Amino acid sequence: MLSSLRRPEARWIRVPLGFLLVLGGIFSFLPVLGIWMLPLGLLLLAIDLAFLQGPVNLAIVRGLRKWTIWRRARRDRKLHR
């Protein structure tokens, strides 16, 4: 499924799906929708929209750094107990 969405010819599926996911993420206060839809939609849109690639890549790098710092702190707390 994911490999078929990443193909260049699937742009006509990616862009509307990305917009729908972003819209669903904005309305995450509704019971069925969730905030998880927003980053997923932005990731899909960043494949085709060049102006989103920089901010999305920066968010990914920052998120990975924070995740690494959190994991190291958690590991160090377990070692010092």
Residues 6+ apart with CB under 8 A from 38: 21, 22, 24, 25, 26, 28
pLDDT at position 32 over 80: no
For helices 37-48 and 11-26, the axis angle rounded to 10 degrees is 150
Domain count, the chain: 1
Average pLDDT across the chain, whole number: 90
Q: How many CA atoms lie within 13 A of 2 on its CB side?
A: 3
Task: State pTM to two decimals.
Answer: 0.76
Residues 6+ apart with CB under 8 A from 37: 21, 22, 24, 25, 28
Looking at the chain, the whole-number percentage of residues with pLDDT higher than 70 is 100
- Containing structural domain, residue 25: 2-79
